[in-house]
Amino acid sequence: MSDDTNNQRPQRDASGHFIKGNTTWTGRNGRTNGRSQYERERLAALEREITPDKWQKICRVAYQDATESRDGRIRELGRRWISDYIIGKPKQIIALEAKPPDPFEEFRDYSIEQLRAIASGGDSAGDAEAGGTTGASAPSID
């Protein structure tokens, strides 16, 4: 559906991006500041409930769990929570390493005599057999 059907033109800057305050696009997936109305309401309720003193107690317990707990699972959870909060969760990076093709792979089964015959420009199968040292013919090269 084009913008002309509503008799409204999108308000864009010189590079074609929507300008702030336009009426046709409110942000990421219709959200403002990257959060839905539901998320904003829930965060506001949480902020009202968790005072700075309560937050300090939560952090103290997490620190004690991370450093003093006898249960290894609890220590690990406390350490993960603290590091995720302070540093952030690690980004998952996938390192794809492709082995480059070996340009000499097709010549691996050749004898040295066969390779010399190919390098000299002769018929690889005929010249190699004429040498008679290997008794095997070279694979054909197409």
- Mark out the alpha helices in 51-110 (DSSP H runs): 52-68, 72-86
Domain shared by 52 and 25, yes or no: yes
45 in a structural domain: yes
Nearest to 138 by CA among 119, 120, 102, 123: 123
pLDDT of amino acid 26: 55
CA-to-CA separations, 121 to 9, 51, 129, in angstroms, rounded: 70, 85, 15
Round to whole Å and give the CA distance between 121 and 135: 20
User: For the chain, how many structural domains are there in total?
Assistant: 2
Domain range for 130 is 101-142
The chain-wide mean pLDDT, for the chain, equals 77
pLDDT of residue 140: 58
pLDDT tens per residue, range 43-86: 899 999 999 999 999 999 999 999 999 999 999 999 999 999 89
Q: Which helix (H) or strand (E) holds 89?
A: none
With contact defined as beta carbons under 8 Å apart, do 114 and 124 qualify? yes
In a shared domain, residues 81 and 119? no
Q: What is the mean pLDDT of residues 110-121?
A: 88
For residues 82 and 63, the answer to whether their CB atoms sit within 8 Å is yes
The pTM of the whole model exceeds 0.75: no
The answer to whether position 94 is within a domain reads no
pLDDT at residue 82, as a whole number: 93
